[in-house]
Chains A and B, each alone.
Chain A
Amino acid sequence: MEAIVQEVVKPEDLKKFEQRFNEQCLRGQPSATAQFEYAWCLVRSQSPSDLRKGTLLLQELFHKTADETAKRDYLFYLAVGHTRLKEYEKALKYAKAIQQVEPGNHQAREMTAYIEKKMKKEGLIGMAIVGGAAAVAFGALAGLGVALAKK
């Protein structure tokens, strides 16, 4: 899952699908396909504003469609985008929602596990550098979990 979530879009691809999407916008309502293709590129960008934009486009698509398979696909890339933005709570919500549309989807299961691992790892780091009360409490709990698991 690491390879999928951390993969970075090629700038020329981002540009190509951006152009296609923008042209359609100028002519009127963009097609769902063009919007999805552009959003899929955006959520693989390294720029936080691209990531943000990608998640917004996906949310819009999600609310407009009645197609369950399409919804599943949008949820997956919403999870990718929010993971890359380090908004793990949201990412987790989307990853888990896929399993409601399609129980037993292995990509959703692996995504959920990946996000949970990230949360645990960065929760520990949070304790060391942030020092906020919530971070400490969470970090301590996570630390305890690790200590117990090692026994």
Chain B
Amino acid sequence: MAAGPYNYSYIFKYIIIGDMGVGKSCLLHQFTEKKFMADCPHTIGVEFGTRIIEVAGQKIKLQIWDTAGQERFRAVTRSYYRGAAGALMVYDITTFIVRSTYNHLSSWLTDARNLTNPNTVIFLIGNKSDLEAQRDVTYEEAKQFADENGLMFLECSAKTGENVEEAFLDTAKKIYQNIQDGSLDLNAAESGVQHKPTTPRNTLSNDQPQSKDGCAC
């Protein structure tokens, strides 16, 4: 597992937003390390993680900024929204933010919409789905909120890993689809996507995964 020269054709920037304690950092950690952090302290400012994934045969590097939910950080973390191609908006299914107000999720959504670009893919995640007994937000009401606002939606568990891959990957698929159909302009400032020029070897054998040992020694 040497840190060889990574080979990817796109970089997508993601942000993870939502109230403190809903499990944003645990989701990131589960996605990048495949582990659950049981006693995770509140994030200081922002955390950062990367992982390379594959969508439609293309290697894509995800650069993920996980923002702190504590109020103290709110104003400055907003500047990290700029140029995000994907925004994961997380709530906790055991606390009733959706039903009680709609306000919390709505205000996160308003922020996300105002501070990103029109093509940013926003994915709503209902985390802690393993805590079924303590559930306070039904799948249906969250799904309705997502549909009304044109968001993608899944319930996940950072603890068991359920649907975590899916949420990150489905977001990437949607972004990639937006690139393919031309609705996301890569040349636009702050599209949140960088296209890496492929190496000549890559263009010759486009569908072949590049062999690590295939150097002309």
Contacts and interface: CB of A to CB of B under 8 A. Distances in A.
A36 interface: yes
Interface stretch (B38-46, B146-154, B172-180): B38-46
A130 interface: no
B76 A37 contact: yes
Nearest to B71: A33
Contact of B44 (A9, A10, A17, A76): A76
Interface string B62-96: 01000000101101100100100000000000000
Given A13-B79, A70-B72, A105 B45 contact: no
Nearest to A36: B72
Interface residues of A, number: 22
Contacts of B42: 69
Contact of A4 (B41, B47, B63, B76): B47
Given A37-B75, A40-B76, A76 B45 contact: yes
Contacts of A4: 45-48
B37 interface: yes
Given A10-B79, A13-B79, A37-B75, A73 B45 contact: yes
A84 interface: no
Between B70, B72, B76, the greatest number of chain A beta carbons within 10 A of the residue's beta carbon is seen for B76
14 contacts: A4-B45, A10-B79, A13-B76, A33-B72, A33-B75, A40-B76, A73-B44, A76-B44, A76-B45, A77-B45, A105-B44, A107-B41, A107-B43, A107-B44
Interface in A1-57: 3-4, 9-10, 13, 17, 33, 36-37, 40-41
Nearest to B29: A106
Interface residues of B, number: 19
B48 A102 contact: no
A106 B37 contact: yes
Contacts of A76: 44-45
A36 B70 CA distance: 13
A73 B79 contact: no
Nearest to A101: B41
A72 B44 contact: yes
Given A4-B46, A73-B44, A107-B43, 16 more contacts: A3-B63, A4-B45, A13-B79, A37-B75, A40-B45, A40-B76, A69-B42, A69-B70, A70-B72, A73-B45, A73-B72, A77-B44, A105-B41, A105-B44, A106-B37, A107-B47
